[in-house]
A = this chain, B = another copy of it.
């Protein structure tokens, strides 16, 4: 490239780190069901395995299982056993760490909402 592309001031190593960080976050939120599970857990506080089939209509047990495993591995959700006289029930809940991702999701939602307004506006032009 004979004619260098003009870079802005930011240091290249930092830029690279930021690329990776963004990649990480998107990988974490991508997929059809992940964020859906997180939003529902935020909304309902705790859910059992079977509950997800009601609140996330269309998800299959295989996919649910693997998504829950992934989210747990990333410490965004956790299992909690509740002991009743007759049986133990496994619930899924958000972790404290998920509080952070909640602010992230809100940012994405706000953008989505304002973007939708934008699109509707530009369609009416």
Chain A residues engaging chain B, CB cutoff 8 angstroms: 1, 5-8, 10, 15, 17-26, 28-30, 35-36, 39, 42-45, 47, 51, 54-55, 74-75, 97, 100-101, 103-105, 107-116, 118, 122
Contact = CB atoms under 8 A, between A and B. Distances in A.
Contacts of A35: 22, 26
Contacts of A105: 22
A76 to B, nearest CB: 9
When all copies of this chain in the complex are counted, the total is 2
Q: Please classify the interface of chain A as helix (H, G, I), strand (E, B), loop, or mixed, using the class held by over half of its residues.
A: helix
Contacts of A112: 18, 20-25
A75 B116 contact: no
Given A5-B54, A21-B108, 7 more contacts: A8-B43, A21-B111, A21-B115, A75-B118, A100-B115, A103-B107, A107-B108
